[in-house]
């Protein structure tokens, strides 16, 4: 069984006054992380997990602490990025959890929607679950800080690339990924999801991983 890493103390970047970054979701911050994640992806996940209060509670109760990196400002989580490795992602909860929370009648169609959104990593690939930054902390470099830490995680697990999906109604996120060396490789049109989930296309992006990323982090 793969060991579960305990969250590590926030590490400061070169700018000592900037946000710290740590591996793992700190205990006690589950609700904060779930709220950030829902604020970023609620439009996409709403059809499967609404109403919002129940959705946030579900996400907080079932997240995997060792599958995220967080940025911390003044002791509070200001941003989070989740990833999948070895069949575990940041946001957990299986079929039984969905049915227990929403009931069998309402839970079964929700499971169908979640299966549509499921993304499994290929061999040698780290898949990002998503990245979310609190509105009051946007524009401060936190997104880039989280992406660099995700790249270091991928390098340390000997992944050859990072994969993520970005929807057509989130050009700001796509611009962030492109600034950090992600390249679009495929766009799938999803007009059948526009009314249900609010987007009509999903673009898959890749970023190659080099071991130099991990080496540079250890030397920092």
Residue 5 confidence (pLDDT) above 50:
no
Question: What is the model's pTM?
Answer: 0.83
pLDDT exceeds cutoff 60 at 16: no
How sure is the predictor about 145, in pLDDT bands with cuts at 50, 70 and 90? Answer: very high
With residue 131 as reference, give the H or E element that holds it. Answer: strand 125-133
Give the mean model confidence (pLDDT) for residues 61-77.
Answer: 96
Q: Which residue has the tokens 């205990």?
A: 27
The pLDDT of residue 14: 46
- Look over the chain and give the mean of its residue pLDDT values, rounded to a whole number: 86
pLDDT at 61: 96
């Amino acid at each position: 069984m793969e060991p579960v890493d305990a969250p590590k103390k926030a590490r400061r970047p070169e700018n000592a006054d900037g946000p710290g970054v740590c591996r793992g979701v700190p205990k006690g911050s589950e609700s904060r992380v779930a709220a950030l994640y829902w604020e970023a992806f609620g439009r996409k996940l709403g059809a499967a997990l609404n109403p919002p209060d129940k959705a946030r509670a579900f996400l907080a109760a079932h997240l995997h602490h060792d599958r995220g990196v967080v940025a911390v400002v003044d002791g509070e989580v200001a941003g989070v990025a989740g990833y999948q490795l070895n069949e575990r992602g940041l946001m957990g909860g299986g079929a039984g959890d969905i049915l227990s929370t929403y009931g069998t009648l309402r839970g079964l169609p929700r499971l169908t929607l979640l299966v549509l959104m499921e993304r499994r990593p290929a061999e040698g690939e780290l898949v990002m679950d998503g990245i979310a930054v609190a509105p009051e902390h946007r524009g401060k470099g936190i997104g880039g800080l989280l992406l660099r830490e995700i790249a270091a995680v991928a390098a340390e697990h000997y992944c050859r690339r990072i994969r993520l999906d970005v929807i057509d109604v989130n050009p700001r996120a796509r611009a962030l990924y492109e600034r950090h060396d992600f390249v679009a490789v495929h766009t799938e049109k999803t007009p059948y999801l526009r009314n249900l989930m609010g987007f009509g296309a999903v673009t898959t992006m890749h970023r190659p991983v080099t071991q130099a990323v991990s080496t540079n982090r250890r030397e920092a």
